[in-house]
């Protein structure tokens, strides 16, 4: 009897434990269902909010802050815009189109440059970079024709100055290996490279532009410049001033159209330099070429700070009778090289852990 009682007691204990395990498993499953239910509700709520929210507007606070702020004394825009208070040029509020836009008052920094040629009056100058006979071999005929078309359209206006350069560095320039980083990058003798002018007359302008340079087409103003650097602005007169910057300042140019050769070298460098000197920059994408395989990458990079347009668009604009800006309206010609001087004590460098003021 005692053995039977012990066996029955053990059976009941095993059954009790199984029931407790089953109950614990059931409670665990219930808690999991609740958690998943809450997560599903949260996702559903987020989706519902997203569906109900207004669509992001692909807009900028103003097409051009110059035009908005300085075009009229009672313009509604403020610069810099107050966070969260972006307005269009007509004063209407703008929804934020990105986290950046929210931080910058509705200005969509994902869509730059935020200006168009017709967004304000302009004084335009055309810069034909290294459009020379030496480079004809790798330049498509259509590109040359487009450069000539831009030149003709500029000359026809009578007040659009034209600058044309020729890359004049030769493989046998004295001390080239020690003077110019470009020579070390591209190779000096005995390495022959098309990056140099090899023929004595190789830097002369393309024949299609010869009449312009010779004055037969009556250009109102023309600068012909031999350049030795990728950046066309980095060529100086006897006073140490940029020749190109000074020439453009003489004509109060505030917008520079760039075309010529090579896209990923002198075009890119000159366009960046023009931007840094305070010009609005436009690059004619079908009036540039290069001997390398990175021309498209250069155009992609240019689009972060300059307008990229086709020749037909630009010639149409030049011939449209576009409104000219007043002298110095958008760019002060007296600061022709873009430098703005600040008190020397604002600039410091550290040498041997000591602060040294740069005079």
pLDDT band, very low/low/confident/very high, at 169 (cuts 50, 70, 90): confident
Low-confidence winner among 107-111, 242-246, 313-317 (lowest mean pLDDT)? 107-111
Per-residue pLDDT at 351 exceeds 80? no
Of 167 and 266, more confident: 266
Q: What's residue 214's pLDDT?
A: 58
Average confidence score pLDDT of the chain:
74
**Judging by DSSP bridges, how do beta strands 280-289 and 307-309 pair with one another?**
parallel
Query: Distance between CA atoms of 67 and 87, rounded to whole angstroms?
Result: 14
Residues 6+ apart with CB under 8 A from 224: 163, 164, 165, 166, 205, 213
Residue predicted with more confidence, 96 or 28: 28
Bigger pLDDT: 128 or 331?
128
pLDDT at position 28 is 73
Q: Is 80 exceeded by the pLDDT of residue 241?
A: yes
Sign of the C-alpha dihedral computed for residues 175, 179, 180 and 184 taken in this order: positive
State the pLDDT at residue 264: 94
Phi, psi of 261 (to 5 degrees): -140, 150
Largest CA distance in the chain: 132
Nearest-angstrom CA–CA distance, 187 and 126:
31
| Highest-pLDDT range among 99-103, 116-120, 210-214, 262-266 | 262-266
Whether 130 has a pLDDT exceeding 90, the answer reads yes
Q: Residue 282 pLDDT > 90, yes or no?
A: yes
Query: By the 8 A CB rule, do 267 and 261 touch?
Result: yes
Neighbours of 152 (CB within 10 A): 18
What 3 state SS string does the chain have? CHHHHHHHHHHHHHHHHHHHHHHHHHHHHHHHHHHHHHHHHHHHHHHHHHHHCCCCCCCCCCCCHHHHHHCCCCCCCCCCCCCCCCECCCCCECCCCCHHHHHCCCCCCCCCCCCCHHHCCECEEEEEECCEHHHHHHCCHHHHHHHHHHHHHHHHHCCCCEEEEEECCECCCCCHHHHCHHHHHHCCCCCCCCCCECCCCCCCECHHHHHHHHCCCCCCCEEEEEECCCCCCCCECCCCCEHHHHHHHHCCCCEEEEEEECHHHHHHHHHHHHHHCCCEEEEEEEEEECCCCCHHHHHHHHCCCCEEECHHHHHHHHCCCCCECCCCCCCCCCCCCCCCCCCHHHCEEEECCEEEECC
Predicted confidence at residue 329, as pLDDT, reads: 84
Mean pLDDT in residue range 343-350? 45
Residue 38: which pLDDT band, with cuts at 50, 70 and 90?
low
Lowest mean pLDDT across 89-93, 264-268, 351-355: 351-355
121, exposed or middle or buried, with CB in 10 Å at 0-12, 13-18, 19+? middle
Q: Which position has the higher pLDDT, 299 or 338?
A: 299
The closest alpha carbon to 151, from 323, 324, 311, 313, belongs to 311
Domain 124-167+205-321: homologous superfamily in CATH: Isochorismatase-like (3.40.50.850)
In the predicted structure, residue 126 carries a pLDDT above the cut 50: yes
Q: Which pTM value belongs to this model? A: 0.66
Whether residue 13 has pLDDT greater than 70: yes
- Domain parsing of the chain, residue ranges: 124-167+205-321
The answer to which of 188-202, 243-257, 262-276 has the lowest mean pLDDT is 188-202
Q: Residue 38: CA atoms inside 13 Å, Cβ hemisphere, count?
A: 5
When pLDDT is averaged across residues 255-269 and rounded to a whole number, the result is 96
Beta bridge partners of 282: 257, 307
79: pLDDT strictly greater than 70: no
């Amino acid at each position: 009897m005692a053995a039977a009682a012990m066996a029955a007691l053990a059976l009941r204990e095993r059954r009790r434990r199984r029931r407790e395990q089953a109950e614990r498993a059931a409670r665990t499953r219930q808690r999991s269902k609740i958690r998943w239910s809450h997560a599903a509700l949260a996702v559903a709520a987020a989706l519902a909010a997203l569906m109900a929210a207004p669509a992001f507007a692909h807009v900028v606070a103003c097409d051009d802050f110059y035009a908005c702020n300085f075009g009229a004394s009672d313009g509604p825009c403020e610069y810099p815009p107050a966070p969260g208070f972006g307005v269009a040029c007509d004063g209407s509020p703008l929804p934020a189109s990105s986290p950046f836009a929210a931080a910058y008052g509705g200005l969509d920094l994902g869509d730059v440059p935020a200006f168009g040629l017709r967004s304000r009056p302009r004084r335009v100058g055309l810069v034909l970079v290294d459009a020379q006979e030496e480079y004809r071999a790798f330049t498509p005929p259509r590109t040359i024709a487009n450069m000539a078309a831009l030149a003709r359209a500029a000359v026809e206006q009578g007040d659009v100055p034209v600058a044309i350069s020729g890359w004049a560095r030769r493989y046998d320039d004295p001390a080239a290996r020690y003077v110019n980083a470009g020579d070390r990058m591209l190779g000096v003798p005995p390495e022959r490279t098309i990056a140099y002018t090899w023929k004595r007359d190789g830097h002369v302008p393309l024949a299609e532009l010869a009449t312009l340079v010779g004055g037969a087409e009556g250009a109102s103003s023309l600068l012909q410049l031999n350049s030795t650097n990728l950046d066309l602005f980095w060529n100086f007169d006897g006073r140490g001033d940029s020749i190109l910057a000074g020439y453009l300042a003489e004509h109060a140019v505030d917008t520079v159209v760039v075309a010529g050769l090579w896209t990923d070298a002198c075009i890119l460098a000159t366009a960046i330099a023009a931007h840094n000197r305070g010009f609005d920059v436009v690059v004619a994408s079908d009036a540039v070429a290069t001997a390398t395989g990175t021309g498209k990458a250069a155009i992609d990079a240019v689009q972060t700070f300059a307008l990229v347009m086709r020749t037909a668009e630009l010639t149409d604009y030049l011939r449209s009778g576009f409104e000219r800006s007043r002298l110095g309206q958008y760019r002060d010609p007296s600061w022709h090289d873009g430098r703005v001087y600040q008190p020397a004590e604002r600039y410091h460098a550290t040498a041997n852990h000591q602060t040294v003021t740069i005079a």
